[in-house]
Amino acid sequence: MREFEFLEPQTLTEALAMMSEYEDDACVYAGGTALLLAMRQRMLSPGFVVSLGKLDELREITFNPAEGLRIGALARHSDVARAPDVQAHYPMLAGMAGGLANPQVRNQGTIGGNLCYADPATDPPSCLIAMDAEVTIAGPGGERRLPMREFVVDFFTTALEPGEILTHITLPPPRPDRTGLYRRHLRTPAEHRPVANVALTFRDVNGVPEDVRLVIGAAVPVAQSMTRAEDFLTARAITLDVAAEAAAMVAEDIDPISDGRGEEAFRRQVVRAITRRILAEAAGLNWKDAAA
């Protein structure tokens, strides 16, 4: 690791000023679980590390039935998983955050840090996209909001402009008729990072899905909404055959990563399996008796 200056701004304004001043030579430290590894391996060598640790307001998780959920970017994954409001109103999110990576990462890593690092092999993006999340970004010129689906743009690349800091993630108010599931798959049980994951939300209209969001993550460079399958599933009762057909569609439509943790064909196969399963589970069907 190269030497760097560790800065601890006391206010968001101060943090933004530092980010504007040092631009490309600065990195935000929001938990450090990924950043420090990258610095140790010298993939990143910032001259200034701007810690957000003193900005307590960015740790808060607040809920309001009218406005929904607001998660500070510095909330740790375990904070998200354990927050009573998250558990009560967004169990899909609580489950995702509680199953992410490993206990060390969950207790140290933050949701904002995770999103800004934009490593594809992770859980939050697909889940948040399916839940219609938005992100709030503070910059020199003020605040802006972006849908989550527009935030991550490529491998390790986000829509953040130089000098900007992600401050919050917001989720719309829960709707009693809208349900969701999230599933991750590990290449082997010893892995910490998903080789593929799938997030599903929809409005349940008398057992038939409407407003379907089906998002694949980890197997692809950027979490991807599966629009063809979403359309296919809309207003169609889910049977095992429908689930299998949608899963095949999704496996065909993704543009998978191919690397040491899984070649393209393997990732398509896994995505197909977990998509079929999540759809079956959403409809209360048993996927275990027979393969597709």
Residue placing its CB nearer to another protein in the complex, 65 or 241? 241
Three-class SS of residue 271? helix
Subset of residues 83 to 112 that bind another protein, contact rule: CB under 8 A: 102
Establish if 263 lies at the interface with another protein (CB under 8 A): yes
Establish if 24 lies at the interface with another protein (CB under 8 A): no
| List 185, 201, 225, 249, residue binding another protein (CB under 8 A) | 185
**Part in contact with another protein (CB under 8 A); list of ranges 56-64, 77-85, 146-154, 281-289:** 281-289
Three-class SS of residue 270? helix
Residue placing its CB nearer to another protein in the complex, 37 or 88? 37
- Provide the strand spans (E) within 20-171: 26-29, 48-51, 61-64, 68-72, 134-139, 142-147, 152-154, 157-158, 165-171
**Part in contact with another protein (CB under 8 A); list of ranges 13-21, 108-116, 123-131, 267-275:** 267-275
| List 190, 206, 241, 284, residue binding another protein (CB under 8 A) | 190
Residue placing its CB nearer to another protein in the complex, 37 or 235? 37
| List 70, 193, 213, 268, residue binding another protein (CB under 8 A) | 193
Q: Which long-range contacts (CB under 8 A, 24 or more apart) does 205-212 make?
A: 205/177, 205/235, 207/237, 207/283, 208/235, 208/236, 208/237, 209/233, 209/234, 209/235, 209/236, 209/238, 209/282, 210/234, 210/235, 211/178
Q: How many residues bind another protein (CB under 8 A)?
A: 32
Establish if 45 lies at the interface with another protein (CB under 8 A): no
Establish if 274 lies at the interface with another protein (CB under 8 A): yes
Rounded to 5 degrees, φ, ψ at 22 are: -95, -10
| List 82, 187, 203, 236, residue binding another protein (CB under 8 A) | 187
| List 220, 223, 273, 282, residue binding another protein (CB under 8 A) | 273
Q: How far is the CB of 253 from another protein (least distance, A)?
A: 18
Cβ atoms within 10 Å of 117's Cβ, excluding its own: 20
- The footprint of another protein (CB under 8 A) covers 1-3, 37, 40-41, 102, 185-193, 260-261, 263, 266, 269-270, 272-274, 276, 287-292
